[in-house]
Amino acid sequence: MKGKLVVRVIALVAAALLLVLIGGIGFVYLAPETATHTFLTIERKRSGLVRKEIDLPDGTHYVYLEGGQGEPLMLLHGFGGNKDGFTRVARFLTSHYRVIIPDHIGFGESAHPPDADYTPIAQANRLHSLAQALGVADLHLGGSSMGGQIAMSYAALYPTEVKSLWLLDPAGIWSAPESELRKIIRETGHNPLLAQNEAEFAQLFPFVMAEPPFIPRPMMDVLAQERIRNFDLEKKIFLQITADSLEGRISGMTIPTLIVWGDRDRTINVATAEILHRLMPNSRVIIMPEIGHLPMIERPQQSAEDLLRFRASL
């Protein structure tokens, strides 16, 4: 009798879980926009992040995520991304830092002025104004891809205000061997980082990540709309960031720097890490095996732990 009861309980639990699963799948397919918003809200809450907005004195409108306590750590997303690119890794950092993750001007929910200067120096100056508006004098800076290029530009402009740098496959060092991305653009004129439709957006994920997280296609199509609407502006921004070389500005920079690279990065050649290391004498390099261009999304916990170990060693 007892055995039959156990089997019955197990069957009821399994049936309940199946109903929850079916309900969740139905929710994603019948209301993908609501499902996507709900998922992002849950992810932010799990990481201790709150969405905030601010207008700078010159009228520039920023939307950002903030949470945690401790020394300020500003995290800068890459080209085509937005603030939620750092949500997963922030879960392991908000107990150590006051984490601030803005949408860059031109991306996400922040302002998109069509004729603005989108060079890394211009973006760094805007972020410095944002930091001042948030009452932040000195900070740690982390950046992925274009965000790393902007972080290094910020450090070159305001070296006494940056305590450390965390660079994840950063852009801006163009003397490295040609990457797969650059070869495709050179040979075909097509930029795989831009998306004019949902199909092109879906192809982005396996290109920039070796281990992309699973996202149901209806939710991916919702996320694609931001990129599709921003297509023309992103073409302009891409030209500005790829025309900007950092090597002269950061040569000899002594700010403590952790350089992280995925060894399967197809966007920026992993050999760039060694060039950066030579340019920045107070830097360390971590090459992550079987990882692509976005370590903080592909391996969020490991990325955070590497950063915390680096900071503890200083």
From the CA atom positions of the chain, what is the Rg in Å? 21
Closest by CA to 267, choosing from 235, 230, 304, 242, is 242
- Residue from 47, 77, 164, 283 carrying the catalytic annotation: 77
- Residue from 110, 145, 164, 303 carrying the catalytic annotation: 145
Closest by CA to 152, choosing from 171, 133, 178, 138, is 171
Compute the C-alpha angle 86/88/94, nearest 5°.
Answer: 80
- In the residue annotation, 77 being an active-site residue is answered as yes
* Distance (Å, whole) CA 67 – CA 48: 5
CA atoms within 13 A on the CB side of 142: 31
Count of Cβ atoms closer than 10 Å to residue 83 Cβ: 28
- In the residue annotation, 145 being an active-site residue is answered as yes
Give the DSSP letter of residue 265: -
Q: Annotated active-site positions, please?
A: 77, 145
